[in-house]
Chains A and B, each alone.
Chain A
Amino acid sequence: MSGTFVGMPAFPEAAREAVGDRTLRANLRHATHTIRAKRAAAVAEVSDWAQLREAGKRIKDHTLRRLDHYLVQLEEAVTAAGGTVHWAADADEANRIVAALVKETGESDLVKVKSMATQEIGLNEALEAEGIRAYETDLAELIVQLGRDRPSHILVPAIHRNRGEIRDIFAREMSAWGRPAPEGLTDTPAELAEAARLHLREKFLRAKVGISGANFMVAETGTLVVVESEGNGRMCLTLPETLISVVGIEKIVPTWRDLEVFLQTLPRSSTAERMNPYTSTWTGTTDGDGPRTFHLVLLDNGRTDTLADEVGRQALRCIRCSACLNVCPVYERAGGHAYGSVYPGPIGAILSPQLRGTGSEIDASLPYASSLCGACYEVCPVAIDIPEVLVHLRERVVQGGPVTREGNKVVVKPAKGHAAERAAMRAARWAFGRPGALRAGQRLASRTRGLHPRTLPGPGRAWSASRDLPAVPAEPFRDWWQRTNGGTADGTSGEGAAK
């Protein structure tokens, strides 16, 4: 299992399997439609939602514009509070830093609270290679880990699993990782939660090292913030002697006051709650309370390159609420795994090809994994215009162009496999630039309409595999317009004249 999902096939191929899997489709449909309706209700309760959304967008944009300033401020504040800051340019560097910090403690087991950044860099696999075992403690992450699976949702990584599947995973796998599942475990939510609680409690009480992510970092005081529903995160943050937090550099906000906006928009957008059950904050180390040692690993891994792109940089506003996944009709059918990344759904379709580049087959296909319906933009609490970025990235895929990679300006070539499409687009543009050519084409289609096949050859087969073609009319509109003098000659209607 690789956290970065490298070597994935293109999205359409990866999605095909999910589309045909009835259980998966039913699980996803049930879960996304439930949370979708709840989110809409939770958002409708807030009279100033539009202003909160705008405020969140502006705070993030302001912070991103002055990211260098706020990161330095954060480093100073964390250091002053007794923590140590490490800077990681990419996944390898971050993994090396974390592995070295864990080895210093002499421990070979540790607990983790859900952190997308560590999933993004494949930290668990990197630690395993060093003989260190990381236990996931978020309930959904635990299910994914025990099932030797991959996360398929930002907020609910095991969204693709139903209760029966979870019961089977617990009964089968828990014993290999620690305390086994109770005998005769059923699939009632209370029993499943209790089994997880007992299994995890043992881990929390033994662990000397904890690894976390963070939803926010407050620059003015060097404080990190995690919001969660279960309280497992709070256990990870407070019980171990050493705490290592791995956080993407875009998670920073300037002040505590800025948090006020996101602590309203994040829970309502993600879990449809007015307030999340647990909000934990930690600042360096404190005598007699919490971890004795605190490390903050600041992760770039493509973020400053993304920041250099003036259209695409808005993806860095993302607060990982997952509202866009829950409304996306493509995500609902394709499932999270098809996106080949820890960031699935619409936000993943714009974030992954920016963080990783559009070089691989999967990353070149992700900008097309959308019908551009715009539902994702509508629900985004920080107003990321995801369709705009998708189209921008499609342009990069088919035309190539200047991008920033590892801080250097480079020109990328168009992705492979678009030559025929490019030629067709050019030909269409040529014809559309000449009304006469368009008209000749229309007439040809009309005159040969008796000969048109019901199924199409070549790329058109993708259409006719599941849909019938419309019949070509005997006469295109413009010929009718001219023949009838704008509809006046045959008496139907119209006073306009052909021009």
Chain B
Amino acid sequence: MRVALFLTCVNDTLYPDTGRAVVKLLTRLGVEVDFPMAQTCCGQAHYNTGYRHEAEPLARHFSDVFAEYEAIVTPSGSCGAMVRELYPRMGERARAEGRGDTLAATLAPVVPKTYELTEFLVDVLRVTDVGAYYPHKVTYHPTCHGLRGLGLGDRPRRLLRAVAGLELVELPGADECCGFGGTFALKNSDVSAAMGADKVRNAESTGAEVLCAADNSCLMHIGGTMTRLESGMRPVHIAEILASTKEGPAS
């Protein structure tokens, strides 16, 4: 199977390790991975901040780049939800504004074949034990758009439970937002910081060394809060845990 990796602009720029982990993991599972170099951004930050018209050309660009692939895999619940949940809505809105079906028709092909990483592993590859080894105590934070937008359910936890050496501990208040929320973190920084601090305190109460999630944007906020609060915990993307083996352990 040949899939396109939609890494997201945030991962590409700030978290290349996550991208390398996805390539390593999928290749190990026999998937041929391609990274279309023309990919940029799904347009989520624009859309969610109220700049829908600025997001439209980015969505069109996304569709142009990825339409030819059998499946598109992304290590981000939130960018995955943007494509799957909000691209159809952008098409509907354009139609409601009397701009015809062009946008909807352009975006439609990529919508059903875009998968968040854990969803792709469990639903498409039908694997929960990916042969990983990660000897650490880990707690899992289900990010909002993965949890409620994509409905990832217990897929990430099932994958983590199958990792050799990993001790998974439940995070109190796991379903509560960490306070990132894209531009929310800047526009309402006091509330955002308070939410982040509570998330970190809940994570610390588990005694875990690592907080893992399937979205680096949320991890950027949680991790930045952890170091500021000198918590000693580390944020790690789930892809890096799943890619880790005895021979090639994740750092």
Binding site for B on A (CB under 8 A): 11-12, 15-16, 19-20, 25, 310-311, 329-330, 333-334, 367-375, 377-378, 388, 391, 393-399, 421-422, 425-426, 428-429, 431-435, 438, 441-442, 445, 459-460, 462-463, 465-470, 472-473, 475-478, 480-482, 486-487, 492-499
Tell me whether B227 and A333 are in contact (CB under 8 A): no
Interface residues of B in 1-46 (CB under 8 A from A): 5, 7, 9, 11-17, 19-20, 23-24, 27-28, 32-41, 43, 45-46
Residue of A nearest to B30 (CB): A495
- Residues from chain B with a CB closer than 8 A to the CB of A476 are 12-13, 16
User: In whole Å, how far is B202's beta carbon from the nearest beta carbon of chain A?
Assistant: 12
Asked whether any CB of chain A lies closer than 8 Å to the CB of B102, the reply is no
Out of A12, A333, A371, A493, name the residue touching B27 (CB < 8 Å): A493
Binary interface encoding of chain B residues 139-183 relative to chain A, with 1 for a CB under 8 A from any of its CBs, else 0: 000001101110000000000000000000000000111011111
Tell me whether B89 and A388 are in contact (CB under 8 A): yes
Binary interface encoding of chain B residues 35-67 relative to chain A, with 1 for a CB under 8 A from any of its CBs, else 0: 111111101011111111111011001000000
List 14 contacting pairs A-B, 8 Å CB cutoff, sorted by A: A19-B191, A330-B191, A330-B195, A375-B175, A393-B50, A395-B52, A399-B50, A431-B40, A432-B61, A462-B187, A468-B224, A470-B220, A482-B37, A492-B20
User: In whole Å, how far is B182's beta carbon from the nearest beta carbon of chain A?
Assistant: 8
CA distance A367 to B28 in the complex (A): 45
- Residues from chain B with a CB closer than 8 A to the CB of A495 are 27, 32-33
- Residues from chain B with a CB closer than 8 A to the CB of A435 are 37-40
Tell me whether A477 and B36 are in contact (CB under 8 A): no
User: In whole Å, how far is B33's beta carbon from the nearest beta carbon of chain A?
Assistant: 4
Out of A20, A431, A466, A498, name the residue touching B189 (CB < 8 Å): A466
User: In whole Å, how far is A21's beta carbon from the nearest beta carbon of chain B?
Assistant: 11
Tell me whether B34 and A496 are in contact (CB under 8 A): yes
- Residues from chain A with a CB closer than 8 A to the CB of B221 are 467
Given contacts A371-B177, A395-B50, A499-B36, contact A460 B23 (CB under 8 A): no
Out of A25, A425, A441, A469, name the residue touching B54 (CB < 8 Å): A425
Binding site for A on B (CB under 8 A): 5, 7, 9, 11-17, 19-20, 23-24, 27-28, 32-41, 43, 45-55, 57-58, 61, 89, 93, 96, 144-145, 147-149, 175-177, 179-197, 220-221, 223-225, 227-228, 248
CA distance A207 to B25 in the complex (A): 75
User: In whole Å, how far is B76's beta carbon from the nearest beta carbon of chain A?
Assistant: 13
Tell me whether A462 and B189 are in contact (CB under 8 A): yes
Ranked nearest first, the 7 interchain pairs of A and B with the lowest CB-CB distance are A371-B181, A394-B50, A467-B224, A466-B193, A373-B177, A477-B16, A462-B189
- Residues from chain A with a CB closer than 8 A to the CB of B89 are 388
Given contacts A368-B188, A395-B52, A397-B50, contact A438 B9 (CB under 8 A): yes
Q: Give the residue among A19, A329, A395, A487 with the most B Cβ atoms within 10 A.
A: A329
- Residues from chain A with a CB closer than 8 A to the CB of B11 are 477
Tell me whether A432 and B37 are in contact (CB under 8 A): no
CA distance A378 to B175 in the complex (A): 12
Residue of A nearest to B34 (CB): A496
CA distance A374 to B180 in the complex (A): 13
Tell me whether A12 and B188 are in contact (CB under 8 A): yes
Out of B33, B48, B58, B193, name the residue touching A391 (CB < 8 Å): B48
Tell me whether B37 and A499 are in contact (CB under 8 A): yes
- Residues from chain B with a CB closer than 8 A to the CB of A310 are 96
Q: Give the residue among A310, A426, A476 with the most B Cβ atoms within 10 A.
A: A476
Out of B20, B187, B190, name the residue touching A487 (CB < 8 Å): B20
Given contacts A470-B224, A476-B13, A498-B35, contact A422 B148 (CB under 8 A): no
Residue of B nearest to A33 (CB): B173
Tell me whether B16 and A374 are in contact (CB under 8 A): no
User: In whole Å, how far is A34's beta carbon from the nearest beta carbon of chain B?
Assistant: 14
Residue of A nearest to B216 (CB): A470
Tell me whether A433 and B49 are in contact (CB under 8 A): no
- Residues from chain A with a CB closer than 8 A to the CB of B195 are 329-330, 333, 371
Out of A429, A441, A473, name the residue touching B58 (CB < 8 Å): A429
Q: Give the residue among A373, A494, A495 with the most B Cβ atoms within 10 A.
A: A373
Tell me whether B189 and A477 are in contact (CB under 8 A): no
Tell me whether B50 and A486 are in contact (CB under 8 A): no
User: Besides A15-B191, A373-B181, 4 other CB < 8 A contacts?
Assistant: A15-B188, A371-B179, A421-B49, A442-B13
Residue of A nearest to B224 (CB): A467
Residue of A nearest to B39 (CB): A435
CA distance A397 to B195 in the complex (A): 25
Tell me whether B24 and A492 are in contact (CB under 8 A): yes
CA distance A378 to B142 in the complex (A): 15
CA distance A394 to B14 in the complex (A): 28
Tell me whether B35 and A486 are in contact (CB under 8 A): yes
Given contacts A329-B195, A333-B195, A373-B144, contact A466 B14 (CB under 8 A): no
- Residues from chain A with a CB closer than 8 A to the CB of B191 are 12, 15, 19, 330, 333-334, 369
CA distance A441 to B14 in the complex (A): 12
CA distance A127 to B52 in the complex (A): 45
Tell me whether B144 and A478 are in contact (CB under 8 A): no
Out of A377, A391, A493, name the residue touching B23 (CB < 8 Å): A493
CA distance A377 to B89 in the complex (A): 16
Tell me whether A422 and B51 are in contact (CB under 8 A): yes
Tell me whether B35 and A398 are in contact (CB under 8 A): no
Tell me whether A467 and B61 are in contact (CB under 8 A): no
CA distance A367 to B176 in the complex (A): 20
Tell me whether A374 and B51 are in contact (CB under 8 A): no
Tell me whether A11 and B188 are in contact (CB under 8 A): yes
Tell me whether A428 and B46 are in contact (CB under 8 A): yes
- Residues from chain A with a CB closer than 8 A to the CB of B24 are 487, 492-494
- Residues from chain A with a CB closer than 8 A to the CB of B27 are 487, 493-496
CA distance A473 to B20 in the complex (A): 13
Residue of A nearest to B62 (CB): A432
Tell me whether B187 and A12 are in contact (CB under 8 A): yes
Given contacts A19-B191, A493-B24, contact A459 B186 (CB under 8 A): yes
Out of B13, B53, B96, B184, name the residue touching A372 (CB < 8 Å): B184
CA distance A329 to B184 in the complex (A): 13
Given contacts A371-B184, A463-B186, contact A333 B40 (CB under 8 A): no
CA distance A492 to B53 in the complex (A): 41
- Residues from chain B with a CB closer than 8 A to the CB of A468 are 223-224, 227-228
- Residues from chain A with a CB closer than 8 A to the CB of B179 are 329, 371
Residue of A nearest to B177 (CB): A373
- Residues from chain A with a CB closer than 8 A to the CB of B228 are 466-468
Given contacts A428-B46, A477-B20, A481-B35, contact A472 B14 (CB under 8 A): yes
